[in-house]
Chain A
Amino acid sequence: MARNGETLLRVENLRLHYRAAAGVVRAVDDVSFEVRRGEAVVVLGESGCGKTSLSRALLRVLPRNVAEYSGKVLLDGSDVMQLGEEQFRREVRWVRVSMVMQTAMNALNPVVRVGEQVAEPLRVHRNLPKARAMQRAAEAFELVGISPDFLQRYPFELSGGMRQRAVLAMALVTEPDLLILDEPTSALDVLTQASIMNQLKRVKRETGTSFLLITHDIATSSEIADRVALMYAGQLVEFCDASRFFGDPAHPYAKLLMASVPRLRQVVRPEHIPGQPPSLLALPSGCRFAERCPSRFERCSQDPPMFDLPDRHQARCWLHEKGGGR
């Protein structure tokens, strides 16, 4: 049995570019990070930064207009990018890595009982007989805080929060090592959101599943994050412990982003970030944030690499080059 803290997923130089009429969209552009066992890594970013493409690249759920798809995705050290599609489907997708896609709760089949849908991954991937699969589905329901009575209901009989839990149960039912969640609570109400986050914490504690949570909601992400990876214009710009990120991030974009979050318990006026992110179709040379950055200097016309800072902290900013800046 693998122990908590070992590296489960290592992503190296992952790229996912799309072909569009106007050129190549560099949605995921040389992204590297890792997730340890039992850990929750949050990928934060604003809309259009490539965070959903990143989740699709990891599970290989790709559209047809892919221009480039490359890099390494190591699960327990072996590169699943090398697997053929059939083998990937049989051994990885929904077996070792599950995913709750954005608005997945609206993708439930309306004419099939929820229980059967939740049990389906077991029937397909583990060849379990129906009765056994339904029993496991009931357990998964309990894990996410729904009464097993709901197994017999149809999706329209459930509220949004219940459906979101059912989708979560479907992703957990195969006991994956890694669960990718794309905006799991953004369509839900405040109280429902809080209760789903509670449930995720409980699942994390009880099952030791690793989480990769993809979201734009900074405050809610702090409910579960062990580490935070911040994306901007297709790249990771900062990767560090949650306490560091929410307290004292290193990248100028991260600092500005944190200052833009309205806070309920502090009377600090949130500040907006002037300008807009660059188009992924026409990325500037040099640092992609430079145009909006208050700390810009000459060096920023060159592409910054990820610099290593103390305490497993990385930031893509020339200010953190050794011997330069601070």
Chain B
Amino acid sequence: MNAPLVSVRELDTWFELRRFGFMRVGFVRAVDGVSFELKRGESVAFVGESGCGKSSLARTLLGLHRPTRGEIVFDGVPLHELDAKALKAFRARVGYVQQDPYGALPPFMDVRRILAEPLIVHGVSDRAEREKRIRAVLEEVRLTPADDFLGKFPHQLSGGQQQRVVIARALILQPAMIVADEPVSMLDASVRVEILNLLRRIQSQRELTLAFITHDLSTVRYFAERIFVMYAGKIVEQAQVDALLESPQHPYTQALLAAIPDPDAENAAHMQEVPGGEAPSLLNPPPGCRFHPRCPKAIAGLCEKEIPPVFEPRAGHYSACWLHK
């Protein structure tokens, strides 16, 4: 039981960019040299801004992108060794909760049909058995009474209810892991908390591994045990949630945390500290540390030349920054 469910080693997911369809321009290094392990029953969050590669990482974990280099080992089996049939079986063990529930649900199918689809694809041919499992999963995501929802189409549901259907669909094949890509960013504040609580409850009841992809550090505390902070295709910091939020080690994480306001009228009285510039292009990332052009603490002669290795400035707290040397 102690073996990790997922182990990712030196993973690269690059996308080739061509001009006019044939001229090679280079590679977009969406995920670049990423390694980590996810334990069984653990809830983790990958945090970063748009374009940092977090969604590409999620899609690679789901087997939707083929890694350019490196390997993903799921439950002891390397993904790249799977043939088409085994890959299909793998997909039944990993659920995907998409960002935009409305876009993720086919508009012409009712809830019953949406939830029956994965069961049919994976060979549950008994109609009564399917109905039983559909009702059970609707119960689990609290869309009750099930009869009120089974015949509804996505547009007849509120955003929160749609996202519950997406979650139900991800759960119905009894996966070992759920990958949730910004599961609440399209929802209103008052609904967000409800969906996050739901995911967290299901995760602990089913002892699922849950990988959250999010840009919102303020909610991470409530649903993840560990955080990975990504910047420009790399994981720059990794720690337990409280350790990371209370004493961030990497200058990027520090800037990110400082830029998130809590609702307070005092905020209007002063300026926030924001590092200048913008996140680099993943087509042509800066040499050395990718954050060095924006970093207030960059060490001249080092950070712009050498890629920082991962240091462990505190026990169990990892940060890829030369300051910890």
Do A and B truly interact? yes
- On A, residues with C-beta under 8 Å from B are 40, 46-47, 159-161, 189-195, 197-198, 201-202, 216, 218-226, 241-243, 245-247, 256-258, 260-267, 269-273, 276
Known: A190-B260, A191-B259. A226 touches B278 (CB 8 A): no
* Contact of A256 with B190 at beta-carbon distance under 8 Å, contacts A194-B272, A198-B274, A269-B222 already known: yes
Nearest A residue to B270 by beta-carbon distance? Answer: A201
Given the complex of chains A and B, what is the CA–CA distance between A29 and B125 in angstroms?
Answer: 53
For B221, what are the chain A residues with a Cβ–Cβ distance below 8 Å?
262, 264, 267
Count of chain B residues near A, Cβ 8 A: 39
Alpha-carbon gap, A23 to B43, bound state (A): 46
Establish whether residues A201 and B268, one from each chain, have CB atoms under 8 Å apart when the complex forms: yes
- B interface residue numbers (CB < 8 A to A): 49-50, 158-160, 188-194, 197, 215-219, 221-222, 245, 255-257, 259-265, 267-268, 271-272, 274-275, 278-279
Which listed residue, B218, B222, B264, touches A222 by the CB 8 Å rule? B264
- Determine which residue in B159, B245, B256, B278 has the highest number of CB atoms from chain A within 10 A of its CB, and name it: B278
Q: How far apart are the CA atoms of A93 and B285 in the complex, in Å? A: 43
Name A270's closest neighbour in chain B (CB-CB).
Answer: B193
Chain A residues positioned under 8 Å from B192 (CB to CB): 260, 262, 272
Report, nearest first, the 10 A-B pairs whose CB atoms are least far apart. A194-B259, A272-B194, A243-B265, A189-B49, A273-B190, A242-B265, A272-B193, A46-B188, A195-B274, A262-B218
Q: Are A270 and B222 neighbours in the complex by a CB distance under 8 Å?
A: yes
Please determine whether B278 and A192 come into contact, CB atoms closer than 8 angstroms: yes
Known: A246-B263, A263-B262, A264-B218. A271 touches B272 (CB 8 A): no
Known contacts A194-B272, A242-B268, A276-B158; A189/B190 CB under 8 A: no
Q: Which residues of B contact A247 (CB under 8 A)?
A: 265
Q: A245-B265, A260-B189, A270-B193 are in contact. Are A219 and B278 (CB under 8 A)?
A: no
A246 to B269, CA, bound (A): 14
- Known contacts A161-B278, A189-B50, A190-B49; decide if A264 and B262 are in contact (CB<8 Å): yes
Q: Which residue of A lies closest to B185 (CB)?
A: A186
Cα A271 to Cα B190 with chains together (Å): 8
- Note all chain A residues with C-beta closer than 8 A to B160: 276
With a cutoff of 8 Å between Cβ atoms, the chain A residues found around residue B261 in the complex are 194, 219-220, 222-223
Interface pair B194/A219, CB less than 8 Å apart:
no
How far does the Cβ of A274 sit from chain B's closest Cβ, in whole Å? 8
**Roughly how many angstroms separate A191 CA and B259 CA in the complex, as a whole number?**
6
Given known pairs A201-B268, A222-B261, the reply for A194 and B222 (CB within 8 Å) is no
In the complex, besides A263-B262, A264-B217, A264-B262, 13 extra interface pairs with C-beta distance below 8 angstroms are: A46-B190, A191-B256, A198-B271, A201-B271, A216-B189, A219-B262, A219-B263, A241-B265, A243-B265, A260-B189, A262-B216, A262-B221, A272-B191
Assuming A262-B219, A269-B222, is B268 touching A225 (CB within 8 A)?
yes
A-B contact pairs, 11 of them (CB 8 A): A190-B215, A192-B49, A195-B272, A219-B218, A222-B268, A223-B272, A243-B265, A258-B263, A260-B189, A261-B263, A265-B262
Contacts of A226 in B (CB 8 A): 268
- Residues of A contacting B218 in the complex (Cβ-Cβ under 8 angstroms): 219, 262-264
> Which residues of A lie under 8 Å from residue B222 when comparing CB positions?
262, 269-270
Residues A266 and B262 in contact, CB atoms below 8 Å apart = yes
Q: Is the CB of A47 within 8 A of B188?
A: yes
CB proximity of B212 to chain A, nearest CB, Å:
13
Question: Of all chain B residues, which has the CB nearest A260?
Answer: B190
Inside 8 A of B256's CB, which chain A residues have their CB?
190-191
> Which residues of the other chain, A, contact B159 by a CB distance below 8 angstroms?
47
- A272-B278 contact, Cβ under 8 Å, with A201-B271, A261-B263, A264-B257: no
